[in-house]
Amino acid sequence: MKIIPSIDLFDGKVVRLKQGNPELATFYDYNPLDLVEKWQKIGISKIHIVDLDATLERGNNYDIIKKISKYTDIEIQVGGGIRTIEYAKKISNDVSKIVIGTIAIKNNELFKKICEQVGMSKIIISLDYIDEQIMINGWREESGKNLTKSISEFTEYGIETVLLTSIKKDGMLEGPDIETLQKVKKDTSVGIQASGGFRSIEDIVKVKKIGIESIILGRAIHSKIITIEEAILLEGK
């Protein structure tokens, strides 16, 4: 199991939202690059970056992401607002993986073209859900798509990893969505990154026991409820 700390970028600053709501943002007083360099020294090998400005269609944080990629050796996966072939190609040149959500659900033709241009191995599918209903466009719109069925379809297409975010749990520190994670792990063969609700080492242990491949930690580490040092000790156990 891999621990992946997360950085949400909003106006160039590190923030955390509650249930995807920009009006409920908590801003953290540190430089994104300094933070990533600190994590790298601790032993983190991979990070997850969410570009909230791109998600909300109010610009992007590409320059900051490129700088982090240039000055660190850490593996970076980036999501948020990747909705065109041009931007997908541009940012995929600077990071290890790109995370695609809305386009994969809403525009299958465009999604396939992006896969062809950047390569299937560089793509992670992000599925944000409420009660197995996938939400899109920054969690503002219902897609009408079922979570488990969509995962099966993406697996058949050749996607190797999906990132599952429980919107109800995200940023709430109420524990992960164990029930859904168990169901998905049982019903599919795809690699899973789990996000949303983690509040303790015990939560990480529970999800690891299900067989989930990676856990993304955001608010819990930025609020110092869980430390990166104690979390990564579980990777090899």
Digit-coded pLDDT (tens) for 112-134: 999 999 999 999 999 999 988 99
Residue 104 to residue 143: CA distance in whole angstroms: 11
Told to judge if 51 belongs to the known catalytic residues of this protein, a careful annotator would answer no
Residue 229 to residue 227: CA distance in whole angstroms: 5
Residue 115 within any structural domain of the chain: yes
pTM exceeding 0.85: yes
Residue 150 within any structural domain of the chain: yes
The CA-atom distances, in angstroms, between 191 and each of 25, 81, 98 are 30, 23, 15
Which residue out of 8, 51, 170, 203 is catalytically annotated? 8
Residue 237 within any structural domain of the chain: no
Instruction: Give pLDDT tens digits for 137-169.
Output: 777 788 889 999 999 999 999 999 999 999 888
Domain coverage including residue 222: 2-232
Told to judge if 34 belongs to the known catalytic residues of this protein, a careful annotator would answer no
Residue 100 within any structural domain of the chain: yes
Which residue out of 51, 53, 128, 177 is catalytically annotated? 128
pLDDT at 177 over 90: yes
- Backbone region of residue 141 per phi and psi (left: phi > 0; alpha: psi in -120 to 50; beta: other values): beta
Residue 81 within any structural domain of the chain: yes
Residue 192 within any structural domain of the chain: yes
